[in-house]
Amino acid sequence: MKPGFKIVHWIIFLWLLILILRFDVLIDYLFLFFSYINLLFTDTGSALVFLDFHFIDASLSTMLFLLIIPLILIFNKRLGFVKAGLNFSFAFLIMLGFIFLFAPIISNENPEFSKNLSVTKLLPPLSSVKQLELISVETQKLSDAENFSLKSEQVIKPAFNDNIIFADSIVVAQTVIYYQKNEAYEIDSKKLIDKKGQITIEEKFFLLGTDEFGRDLFTRLINGTRISLTVGMCAVILSFIIGIILGFIAGYRGGLPDIILNRFTEIFLAFPIIYLIVLILALFGSSIFSVIVVLGISGWMSLFKIVKSEVLSIKQKNFFSTAELVGLGKVQLLLKEILPVILAPVFVNILFLFSNVVLAEAALSYLGLGTGSEYPSWGSMISSGQEYITKAWWLIAFPGLGLILTLFAINSSGRIFGKLINPRLKE
């Protein structure tokens, strides 16, 4: 075993980084989770109402985050890949995986949150503004459920919050005066005083700046990564299922189904695929679901060819005829005999397919036909940033860089795996 920086070290490094930087958020999530369990026993009806996507997401992320290091240490033996040497593309892919799994921990802001446009619009990276938070005047005794919802809104931040005010500068006197673009506003300091009797003035820090609606680019990028990767993965899985089933039918049955499927594949291959995608999205409307389906059904052709030729060669092997004679059904043959054998050669193809799909999704979002404006995705961020290119380079630079590096990492690790599987390519 060579000494050096291994994948497992990188995973632990990222884990520690998140743990140190986002310790308070983690504690908040844990607290929220336990108070939810408490609520579940006291007031089950309203507890079920609070069970929304963001809460489940945050809880699962937290649990996984706490479990991931023990899991890796326990299954050390089986997860052989964590001991492999680290290179740039693996490191970047693992970082993407972390962003994908732990997005709620890395940033608990809402990607759509925008407030006080005059102050927060188009801020460059590493800038910060002052933030005032009004105290909601509810002194009466709250029920458990209301308490939970209040707490939950503090931790998992909603898209709208009237109690937060961003300002350029703040002067505290008898009354609090805050400035937004040279306009002064006055506010009663009582509204700002919390239980400890202090006025809370915080610095709101924007790591990657803000976009034209004053939304935090970092949060949007994190969430956009998630959307892009989710679309990519779902589409690839769909392609994989279609390709493997059709390939199995064509290779196993031969004859007429084979001829028909070959024709069919040729039609799909003899087509500028982006035109097909664009047409289907135009006719059927574009939503995140239709994008996944369209990308899925437009990428299975190469998988079909590989699976077909692999099935043809497996069909001759002894273990396969034995399995047939024992009386396994077609589904079992596919799942137990063929799938394990073809997984290795198909894997490289899946990686390249994944990079194609991520690229296509970004291109569609760029054209305004993708996942739409409801979700931030890399393509739509670049497309909306294009209008502000003279004023705000960061709107394009960060999503663009994310996209390029992701595609590069996938392609180059695809090449590395290809060399491992097919040693003939090794010169």
Partner 1 sequence: MIKVFKSQMTRTLVIRFFSSLLTLFFLVSFLFFLIRLSPGDPTDKYISAKLGSELSEKIAEKFSLNQPVSNQYFSFVANVLRGDLGVSYSYRLPVIEVIREYITFTFLFSLISFILQISLSIWLALWVIKKRNKWLDNFVTNSSLFVYSIPAFVLGVVLIYVFSVKLNLFPISGLKSLDYDYLPFLAQILDRIHHLVLPLITLTAAGVAMFYKYIKESMDDVLQQAFIVNLRATGVSEKTILKGHVIPNAIRPLISVAGVELGILLGGTLITEVIFGLPGMGRLTVDSILSRDYPLVLGCVFAAGAVMIAANFLADIIKLKLDKRLVKGILN
**Minimum CB distance to partner 1, residue 313 (Å):** 16
CB closer to partner 1, 241 vs 404: 404
**Minimum CB distance to partner 1, residue 93 (Å):** 13
Which of 25, 362, 377, 381 is the binder for partner 1 (CB under 8 A)? 362
Per CB under 8 A, 260 contacts partner 1: no
Which of 106, 369, 377, 381 is the binder for partner 1 (CB under 8 A)? 369
Per CB under 8 A, 390 contacts partner 1: yes
Per CB under 8 A, 367 contacts partner 1: yes
Q: What are phi and psi of 199, to 5 degrees?
A: -90, 125
Choices 128-136, 176-184, 303-311, 378-386 (CB under 8 A): range interacting with partner 1? 378-386
Number of residues that bind partner 1 (CB under 8 A): 46
CB closer to partner 1, 153 vs 387: 387
Choices 3-11, 193-201, 335-343, 357-365 (CB under 8 A): range interacting with partner 1? 357-365
Choices 19-27, 130-138, 231-239, 385-393 (CB under 8 A): range interacting with partner 1? 385-393
Structural contact between residues 307 and 247, judged by C-beta atoms closer than 8 angstroms: yes
Give the HSE-up count for residue 47: Cα atoms under 13 Å, Cβ half-sphere.
14
Longest dimension (CA), the chain: 90
Compute how many other C-beta atoms are within 10 angstroms of the C-beta atom of residue 393: 15
- What whole-number distance in Å separates Cα of residue 232 and Cα of residue 355? 8
Interface of this chain with partner 1, residues 7 to 36, rule: CB under 8 A: none
- Per-residue contact track with partner 1, 263 to 302, x per CB under 8 A? x--xx-xxxxxxxx-xxxxxxxx-----------------
Which of 49, 64, 142, 404 is the binder for partner 1 (CB under 8 A)? 404
Q: Which of 258, 271, 273, 269 is nearest to 307 (CA)?
A: 258
- What whole-number distance in Å separates Cα of residue 213 and Cα of residue 116? 9
Q: What angle do CA 58, 385, 395 make, to 5 degrees?
A: 60
CB closer to partner 1, 346 vs 409: 409
Per CB under 8 A, 363 contacts partner 1: yes
Which of 69, 393, 416, 419 is the binder for partner 1 (CB under 8 A)? 393
Per CB under 8 A, 162 contacts partner 1: no
CB closer to partner 1, 333 vs 353: 353
Q: Which of 79, 98, 77, 86 is nearest to 15 (CA)?
A: 98
Q: State how far the alpha carbon of 283 is from the alpha carbons of 41, 276, 294, 300, in Å.
A: 49, 11, 12, 21
Residues 6+ apart with CB under 8 A from 306: 243, 247, 342, 345, 346, 349
- What whole-number distance in Å separates Cα of residue 217 and Cα of residue 206? 8
- What whole-number distance in Å separates Cα of residue 343 and Cα of residue 417? 12
Which residues contribute to the site for partner 1 (CB under 8 A)?
262-263, 266-267, 269-276, 278-285, 355, 359, 362-363, 366-369, 379, 382-383, 386, 389-390, 393, 396, 400, 403-405, 407-408, 411-412, 415, 427
